[in-house]
Structure 1
Amino acid sequence: MKTIIFWISICSILITTNNIYAQVKNAKTETFHVNGNCDMCKATIEKAGSKKKEAQVTWDAGSQSASIVYDAEKTNSDAILKRIALAGYDNEKYLAPDETYTQLHSCCQYERTLKGKEIAVVNSHQTHEQGHQHHSNDEKKAESNTFQTVMGTYFSLKDALVSSDSKVATSQAKSLLQAIESLKMTTLSTKVHQIWMDQVKEITALTNNIVNSSNIADQRKHFAALSTKLYPMVKASPLASPVYYQNCPMFENGKGANWLSLNEEIKNPFYGSKMMTCGSVKEKIN
């Protein structure tokens, strides 16, 4: 069964890769093992490795693999994998610095299985250019990272509901509450700040309801309402990776419900394995 899932994941990556070819000139494609856990990992890995018109990374959690399409005249896979490692994610060629790994969100701290002398540990002083680029983009990242954390914990909560695991859902909802409480208003634009202030009380209350619900059915009802409240924020403040606004027409006796996902592939959080692929993409938010 695991073998089947692996090859399905690889096929999905290949389909996505074909679409990317048109965006990257002199395109060369390679696939590498990259460790990670969740949708937050996916967003970070893809953002770290990708560069507009130069490189595009597509990471799949199921196969733990990253398909890298890059302009062979401008860069190489080594440089891309180094950036991914510097972001905290071990891969075939480079291990992330220990201090970077420990700073990852708890749900992103994957099991570090890639070990060996042939895999070099990336240190921040090794890539002056990478450090300079990081410095020049500090302000931009500061504006997005806090809300990115909020949404990252939301995506982890969604994954727990897909797996029909109420205990993990409770844990992730607690993490979401912490992210909501730590969100700095000064990092939001005037427009986004106003939307947040209009929604934050209900967002907090709905998240608390998930924490206090031991029944997966109740958690899913609150999650449906929570998703509706977060949608305008994502629209006004797009994340580093595309977000898919998806719909399940069957939930609540045909009333239907929506949710947000970093994956275009439907994985239904309202029914889990009972109706995993039930639903459709309503909107792609870039």
Structure 2
Amino acid sequence: MNPSSAPFSSPSGKLSGTLYVVATPIGNLADMVPRAVETLQSVALIAAEDTRHSARLLSHFSISTPCVPYHDHSDERRTDDLLQRLTGGESLALISDAGTPLVSDPGYRLVRAARQSGIPVVPIPGACALTAALSASGLASDRFSFEGFPPAKTNARRNWLDALAGDRRTLIFYEAPHRVLACLQDMEAVFGPEREAVLARELTKTFETIQGGPLAELVEFVAGDSNQQRGEIVLLVAGAPARADEGLDAEAERVMGILLEDLPVKQAAALAARITGVKKNALYQWAIDQK
């Protein structure tokens, strides 16, 4: 039996189906993984964010599985109907319009309800705009925060951005094309014109654009080309730089402490900078201050 359709024995002892959370391409249909195609072909039903939008994808891969809409405006009755089918032994797949479901897409309620009911939830990984953008951005990827869509109104957006201004992590946002210029202008005002940022637009599609630079330059770039205000957009902003009056974090202090046991300050600072990513001068000054 295909594992996608095999029933599962829940803690209650009853046989249930499996809910598959299936990632789909964000533009290029060649990015569809074989496991996703097999799963969508074998389940009893597909819950799609927009069945009309998904029809092209399903047709392209000869997937004839029935679809029902499941989106932000679906009521509890639709969730209950899907749960009933799962507990009755049918396996279902959840897809969004593009990319990985639940990443700024509907589906959270169904996944949570399924898990609470003891129904297995299996991810089928694939495309995701935020990770694709981060991988090609050149910004630090060891720590990042996905913030979703900023508020639509200027005052609310600036207040929201102000709360993020000191975050050291790379910040990732989705933004609507008709608001991207205003959002970048607010980012420049709040984060400062020199903060590094990247615009990733129409990823995997014909007019893919990945443009980086200081926020002031990025604002000028988008303002000067109306084509950059179209399509699917990811904005990435470098984390806030360390302030000169701040001490080292615990990990940097630990690394410096170990290196200073065997190395001169200058060499220890240079090596610790490579290990921790902290500026060499800050590490050197910290070591001097400890004496």
Q: Quick check: TM above 0.5? A: no
Greater Rg over alpha carbons, structure: 2
TM-score between the two structures when normalised by the length of structure 2: 0.27
TM-score between the two structures when normalised by the length of structure 1: 0.27
Greater relative contact order, per chain length (Cα 8 Å cut-off, separation 6+): 2
Normalized per residue, which structure has more helix? 1
